[in-house]
Structure 1
Amino acid sequence: MKTIFSYLSPYKSLVVIALLLMLVELSVELVQPLLIATIIDDGILAGDRQIIIFWGIIMLGISVIAFLAGIINTFIASHVVQSYGFDIRQALFKKVQSFTMATFLTFPSSSLITRLTNDVTITQNLIFMGLRIMLRAPLLVVGSIIMSFFVHAYLAMFLVMGAPILILFLFLMSRKGLTLFGKVQRSVDHVTRKVQENLQAVRLIKAYLRGNFESTRFASVADILKMDNVKAFRIMELILPVLLFVMNVSLMAVLWFGAKEIQTGDTKMGDLVAIVNYAMRMTGAFSMFSFIIIFFSRAKASAERMEEVLVVDKGIEEMSKDTANAVPKKGEIEFQHVSFYYPTTNIPVLKDVSFSLESGTKLAIMGATGSGKSTLINLIPRFFDATEGEIWIDGVEVKEWPLKELRQTIGLVPQQSILFTGSIEENLGWGDSTASGETLKEAAIQAQIHHSIEHFPDQYDTRVGQKGVNLSGGQKQRLSIARALVRKPEILLLDDSTSALDVSTENALWEALEQENATMLVVTQKIRTAKGADQILLLEEGKVSAYGTHEQLMESSSLYREIAESQQEGGGHDELHS
């Protein structure tokens, strides 16, 4: 928790002020029983109205001071909590952005969402309670005990007789609560994951009429969360009855022996009233302890989950290396005996892959599903590092490139077209925020999307819905390609990014891309696309099955001939058979 609450450091002065104001409230609350005792003994029982009026006005005055201190404390606490929430979310989001892909895969996206939202809110609630009542409650208990001994030591002994039992009980319950609420937060992750998955697949669910089935699956996950919450709160709810029972026994003892002391004349009526007041305040403070333990347990579990993200020191991308020795960018690529395993498996995805590309060369990468095509593409911008072998770009081993410099040379069009909420112009400029409107238009023309944009009511100002929901698959793919072209990259990576285009549009696209002086790696399942490449790399179970031109592979590779023949027999069918 130390890491998480270190983000309160910028607000230390405000925290101190809030705590001082809380102490003002606490002091007033502890002094009031003494004033009441004075009014009873010296005013009411003595029949002195002046004493009653004087100390009554004093009580009213300090109550107003406590009231104002409470209001100011609340304003300050709210400001601190919201500022802390902003800072910690920024820190978490920035840290996630710095993860390598290997590190990112160790955290489910639903879990990261929960940590950035629900977990932050829970720690905010703890801090707010800490500045308002969390510290006040134990201090009120301690202060009441001290003041009780100051008033009447004998009667005060009955107030503290149950303290050891309560301290041990609260310690055990807080440890139990930490375990239970940690489990609750993990269940929240599962619910978030299920919601996220269903929202992404809503069209498929509707098309297959699987709404009821998915509702049943969600109900089972939600039921686990419900039962975890019920179990946690059921145990936590035991705290209040136990605390009240022990305190009520102590209070009864105070009243019983206090009455005897009054009868014998050894105790004043005001002293007994003061002790009873302190006992009632302690009871009220102890009643807060159940809520405090619940909040603390949940916040500690949440803080530990957020800390897991913040303390990651391996698998972090370093963008600030010196770029003074950056080499000229040409786009030459060479793979030398490259093999790759994902961190979570021992099964190789790529095995001893070697090939080289000159600047401006177009390479088509083919292979069955799972043959390692996308993985090969991901190694070039160093989303992952090769397990074995070396990758060279422009004569420099890829690990020696400054990461920022390397990725500035690359334009990537992923397999799944990703668009952001905003205008078409904003999406195109996302690849290069300094690009002019003319540059955006040129890229759109090359990507064969300009004509479609012109037919939209607002043209380049047309708003793109979430994930491009108001665009067709082909339009999203072409916008993604245009976004990559805006960067003017030396290396263009297209990961099966023309699958939704018709034949004429795709042909026009490839013809336009001939003008690009970029080395292109194109993952494709289409023989007609591969024919237009300078070289074709055919992968089979992660190994290079064949490498060469279309004509060379037709002669030398039985697998490639089989693919070509199957697509011809299928009347131009574009699926690559495994």
Structure 2
Amino acid sequence: MKNMFSFLKKYRWAMGIAWTLMLIELAVELLLPLFMAKVIDEGILQEDMQAVWYWGGIMSALALAAFAAGVTNSFFAAHASQGAGYDIRKSLYEKIQNFSFANFSRFPSSSLITRLTNDVTQIQNTIFTSLRIMMRLPLLVIGGTIMALIVDVKLGLILLLVIPFIIVFLLWVLNSGWTMFRYVQQMLDSVNDVIQENLKGMRIIKALLRGNHENGRFTEANKTLMKKTVSALRLMEAIMPVLLIVMNGGILLILWVGNAEVTNGNAAVGDVVAIINYATRITGAFSVFAFIIMSFSRARASAGRIAEVLETDIDLVDSQHSDPSLKVREGKIEFRDVSFHYPGTKTDVLDRISLKVKPREIVSILGATGSGKTSLFQLIPRLYEATGGEILVDDKDIKQYKLENLRKSIGFVPQEAFLFSGSIRENIAWGKGDASMDEVIEAAKSAQIHDLIEGLPKGYDTVLGQKGVNLSGGQKQRLSIARALVRKPKILILDDSTSALDLKTESKLIQAIGNYSCTILIVTQKISTAIQSDKIFLIEDGKVTADGRHEELISSSPLYCKIFISQFGEENLEHAKALQ
């Protein structure tokens, strides 16, 4: 919870006003029983209506003042709670935006969504409750007990003996509730994870008739969430009966002792009524504690989950020796004995790789699935950090570049084409925030998607469904490539992002992007793509096993020939060798 207090500093004035108004309400609530005693002793028992009207008028005026204070308190409490919730959510989102891929591996996306929504809401509600009633309740218990002792020490001591037992019980429930509700939030993550997977994979679920299986998965996760929530709520519900038994027992004892005191002339009827009133108000305060403890337990669990994200050390940051003025100008790339393994693993997926790529060169990387092709390219924009060796761009270690400057010079198209909800123009321009319409069209033409866009009823203003659901795989890939090209990058990385294109379209695409003043790196499984490259690197088990042009590799590399045969047949291999 300590981390959460820092978000409240800017709302100190609103909190101060809310607490002041809350104290006014509390003062009125503590004074009303005293005035009620006056009405009884000086008015009703003495049959003096003037005293009844006098003290009754004061009570009415105080009640109106407390009502006005309560309404105004709610306004400032809402301002502070909603503002703090906004700031927490904003800080969380900004933190997540700065995560490296390694950081993301610690938190499932479903868990991050829960933390940004449900957990922040729990904090908001608790802040509001704290400013509105949470602080008021313990003060009411303390103040009510003190006032009871002032009115009559003997009767007030009965309250003083009962209350410590209740406080110890509530502290035990608070600690137990925190553990249980933390587990509930984790189960909510699991439910959201199943929902997210199902929504993403709805097409394959329907195509393979796996709806019943997925319903079973969701039912299991949902049932576990229900059971854990019910267990936590049962503990909370046990608070009320215990409180009522103890407090009502105390009230009965006060009535019994009070009756004896009045009979013996040691106490006034009004004093007994006032103490009973205080006891009743304290009972009401403790009754609300069940809700408060549940809210606080959830907020405590949520605060811990939020703090986990905010306190996460981002492992990819600008080096202390990075040069803000250093920018990529040519696009020359060199790997020197680069090794890499993913965080949390010990097996290298790249093993002492060394290679050089000249400026404006088109280079293809071929290799089997899992050979390390994608991992190799993710190191250039520092999406991951190499665990050994050096990566140089324009003869400078990439750690000498500011991350922003390095990544601004790179156009990256991942394996899975991802499009955002919005228009086609917005999706292409997303690659460069200030892109003009002419730049968008130029990028679309180079990506071989302009004619298709022009054929749509609304052209570039056509709105795409979520993740581009209304486009084919090849169309999504070309839009993703256009989004990278609009940046006018110095280095263009295509991570198997032409796999859904036919040979003719792919050939035109590579020819068009070859006119850009950038170095082009292509991860591909297709020989037809590699043939158009200036150089081909073959990767096997995390090592570069061969490099050269198509003509050189087909004569010297058994692995390259094996890939060629798998795509074009052995007879075409012999024909290709004969042409050398």
User: How high is the TM-score relative to the length of structure 2?
Assistant: 0.96
Q: Secondary structure at the match of 2:258?
A: helix
Fraction of identical pairs, as percent: 51
2:542 matched to 1:542?
yes
Q: Offset at 1:181?
A: 0.7
Give the direction of change, closer, same or farther, for the CA distance of 1:106–1:140 in structure 2 (3 Å limit).
Answer: same
2:143 matched to 1:170?
no
Q: Deviations over 1:288-339 (max 9, x none)?
A: 1111111111101100111111122342534998745415510000011111
Separation in 2 of the partners of 1:393 and 1:507?
Answer: 28
Separation in 2 of the partners of 1:321 and 1:11?
Answer: 38
**Is the contact made by 1:161 and 1:250 (CA closer than 8 Å) also made in structure 2?**
no
Mean CA deviation greater in 536-545 or 47-56: 536-545
Give the direction of change, closer, same or farther, for the CA distance of 1:288–1:324 in structure 2 (3 Å limit).
Answer: closer
Mean CA deviation greater in 489-498 or 288-297: 288-297
Aligned to 2:204: 204
2:186 matched to 1:186?
yes
Aligned to 1:118: 118
**Is the contact made by 2:322 and 2:401 (CA closer than 8 Å) also made in structure 1?**
no
Give the direction of change, closer, same or farther, for the CA distance of 1:98–1:571 in structure 2 (3 Å limit).
Answer: farther
Separation in 2 of the partners of 1:212 and 1:138?
Answer: 52
Separation in 2 of the partners of 1:421 and 1:79?
Answer: 32
What pairs up with 1:219-368 in 2 under 5 angstroms?
A: 219-318=219-318, 323-327=323-327, 329-368=329-368
Q: Offset at 1:569?
A: 2.7
Aligned to 2:43: 43
Separation in 1 of the partners of 2:110 and 2:255?
Answer: 56
Separation in 2 of the partners of 1:228 and 1:319?
Answer: 45
Aligned to 1:575: none
What pairs up with 1:378-457 in 2 under 5 angstroms?
A: 378-457=378-457
Count the aligned residue pairs: 572
Letter in 1 for 2:329: K
Separation in 2 of the partners of 1:397 and 1:329?
Answer: 14
What pairs up with 1:140-151 in 2 under 5 angstroms?
A: 140-151=140-151
Separation in 1 of the partners of 2:4 and 2:257?
Answer: 49
Aligned to 1:551: 551
Q: Offset at 1:235?
A: 1.5
Letter in 2 for 1:401: Y
**Is the contact made by 1:332 and 1:395 (CA closer than 8 Å) also made in structure 2?**
yes
Q: Offset at 1:481?
A: 0.4
Give the direction of change, closer, same or farther, for the CA distance of 1:570–1:130 in structure 2 (3 Å limit).
Answer: farther
Give the direction of change, closer, same or farther, for the CA distance of 1:143–1:340 in structure 2 (3 Å limit).
Answer: same
Aligned-residue RMSD, C-alpha: 1.5
Q: Offset at 1:510?
A: 1.3
Mean CA deviation greater in 141-150 or 306-315: 306-315
**Is the contact made by 1:524 and 1:530 (CA closer than 8 Å) also made in structure 2?**
yes
Q: Offset at 1:2?
A: 1.3
Q: Secondary structure at the match of 1:346?
A: coil
Separation in 2 of the partners of 1:429 and 1:148?
Answer: 71
**Is the contact made by 1:448 and 1:478 (CA closer than 8 Å) also made in structure 2?**
yes
Aligned to 2:21: 21
Separation in 2 of the partners of 1:105 and 1:270?
Answer: 67
Separation in 1 of the partners of 2:570 and 2:467?
Answer: 33
Separation in 2 of the partners of 1:187 and 1:570?
Answer: 55
Give the direction of change, closer, same or farther, for the CA distance of 1:144–1:456 in structure 2 (3 Å limit).
Answer: same
Separation in 2 of the partners of 1:500 and 1:319?
Answer: 39
Q: Secondary structure at the match of 2:370?
A: coil
Q: Offset at 1:268?
A: 0.6
Q: Secondary structure at the match of 1:511?
A: helix
Q: Offset at 1:223?
A: 1.0
Give the direction of change, closer, same or farther, for the CA distance of 1:392–1:187 in structure 2 (3 Å limit).
Answer: same
Q: Deviations over 1:182-235 (max 9, x none)?
A: 111111111111111111111111111111110101111111111111111112
Separation in 1 of the partners of 2:309 and 2:18?
Answer: 30
Letter in 1 for 2:385: D
Structure 2, unpaired ranges of 5+: 573-580
Q: Offset at 1:420?
A: 1.0
Aligned to 1:139: 139
Separation in 2 of the partners of 1:287 and 1:327?
Answer: 65
Q: Offset at 1:503?
A: 1.9
Aligned to 2:576: none
Q: Secondary structure at the match of 1:162?
A: helix
Letter in 1 for 2:286: F
Mean CA deviation greater in 40-49 or 74-83: 74-83
Letter in 2 for 1:454: E
User: How high is the TM-score relative to the length of structure 1?
Assistant: 0.97
Aligned to 2:79: 79
Letter in 1 for 2:98: S
Separation in 2 of the partners of 1:457 and 1:73?
Answer: 55
Mean CA deviation greater in 36-45 or 309-318: 309-318
Separation in 1 of the partners of 2:271 and 2:319?
Answer: 70
Q: Secondary structure at the match of 1:359?
A: coil
Q: Deviations over 1:538-577 (max 9, x none)?
A: 11121112211112211222111111011113999xxxxx
Separation in 1 of the partners of 2:131 and 2:565?
Answer: 74
